Amino acid sequence: MAVEGSAGEGDRDLPGEWSSALGLLQDDLRRRDAAVRTRRAYAVDLGQFARWAHARGRMPAEVDVRDVRRYVAGLSEAGAAPASTARKLAAVRGLFSSQREHGLIAGNPADLVATPRQPSRLPRVLKASEVAQLLESVPADTLLELRDRALFELAYACGLRAEELVSLGLNDVDWDGEQLRVEGKGRKTRYVPVGELAMAALRDYREPREREWRSHAGQEAGGPLFLSKSGRRLSTSDVRRRLRKWTGRAGIAGGASPHTLRHSFATHLLDGGADLRSIQELLGHASVSTTQVYTRVESARLKSAYARSHPRA
Q: Give the CA angle between residues 103, 109, 111 to the nearest 5°.
A: 105
Task: Check 39, 88, 149, 161 and give the catalytic one.
Answer: 161
Contacts of residue 233, Cβ cutoff 8 Å, sequence gap at least 6: 166, 223, 224, 226, 227
Same domain as 294, residue 228: yes
The larger pLDDT score, comparing residue 161 to residue 219, is at 161
Same domain as 92, residue 190: no
The residue-averaged pLDDT of 34-54 equals: 91
Domain end: 112, 143, 166, which one?
112
Distance CA 261, CA 176 (A): 25
pLDDT at residue 134 tops 50: yes
Residue 120 lies in a domain: no
Residue 183 lies in a domain: yes
| C-alpha torsion 254→255→257→261, nearest 10 | 90
Residue 304 lies in a domain: yes
The residue-averaged pLDDT of 142-169 equals: 95
**Residues forming beta bridges with residue 227, ordered by sequence position:** 233
Task: Check 88, 209, 262, 263 and give the catalytic one.
Answer: 262
At residue 193 the predicted structure's pLDDT band, cuts being 50, 70 and 90, is very high
Active site residue 185: yes
Terminal CA-CA length for the chain:
62
Task: Check 42, 71, 205, 294 and give the catalytic one.
Answer: 294
At residue 47 the predicted structure's pLDDT band, cuts being 50, 70 and 90, is very high
Task: Check 93, 100, 185, 206 and give the catalytic one.
Answer: 185
Average pLDDT, the chain: 86
Long-range contacts of 63-68 (CB under 8 A, 24+ apart): 63/96, 63/109, 64/109, 65/109, 65/110, 65/112, 65/113, 67/109, 68/92, 68/109, 68/110, 68/113
Q: Which helix (H) or strand (E) holds 173?
A: strand 173-174
pLDDT at residue 48 tops 90: yes
Task: Check 69, 100, 259, 301 and give the catalytic one.
Answer: 259
pLDDT at residue 12 tops 60: no
Same domain as 193, residue 292: yes
Same domain as 153, residue 56: no
Express as a percent the part of the chain with pLDDT over 90.
59
CATH of the domain at 273: 1.10.443.10
Please state the domain count of the chain.
2
Contacts of residue 109, Cβ cutoff 8 Å, sequence gap at least 6: 63, 64, 65, 67, 68, 96
Residue 118 lies in a domain: no
Same domain as 98, residue 170: no
Same domain as 292, residue 174: yes
Distance CA 29, CA 101 (A): 13
Contacts of residue 161, Cβ cutoff 8 Å, sequence gap at least 6: 184, 185, 258, 259, 262
DSSP-derived letter for residue 115 is: P
Same domain as 132, residue 103: no
Same domain as 77, residue 142: no
Which range has the worst mean pLDDT, 81-85, 152-156, 201-205? 81-85
Same domain as 229, residue 168: yes
The residue-averaged pLDDT of 191-218 equals: 84
pLDDT at residue 1 tops 50: no
Active site residue 262: yes
pLDDT at residue 13 tops 80: no
Residue 2 lies in a domain: no
Active site residue 161: yes
Residue 117 lies in a domain: no
For the stretch 57-116, pLDDT in tens is: 999 999 999 999 999 999 989 999 888 999 999 999 999 999 999 999 999 999 999 988
> What was the pLDDT predicted at 4?
39
For the stretch 248-299, pLDDT in tens is: 999 998 889 999 999 999 999 988 888 888 888 899 888 877 777 777 766 6
Q: Give the CA angle between residues 292, 290, 303 to the nearest 5°.
A: 30
Put the strands of the sheet holding 179-183 in their side by side order.
Answer: 173-174, 179-183, 189-193
CATH of the domain at 22: 1.10.150.130
Q: Do residues 99 and 238 lie in contact, with contact meaning Cβ atoms separated by under 8 Å?
A: no
Same domain as 153, residue 80: no
Domain end: 77, 112, 147, which one?
112
Domain end: 53, 88, 112, which one?
112
Active site residue 268: no
> What was the pLDDT predicted at 187?
78
Distance CA 148, CA 108 (A): 47
Same domain as 79, residue 48: yes
Same domain as 149, residue 93: no
Domain span at residue 224?
128-309
Task: Identify the three-state secondary structure at position 129.
Answer: helix
- Angle, helices 236-250 vs 143-158, to 10°: value is 100
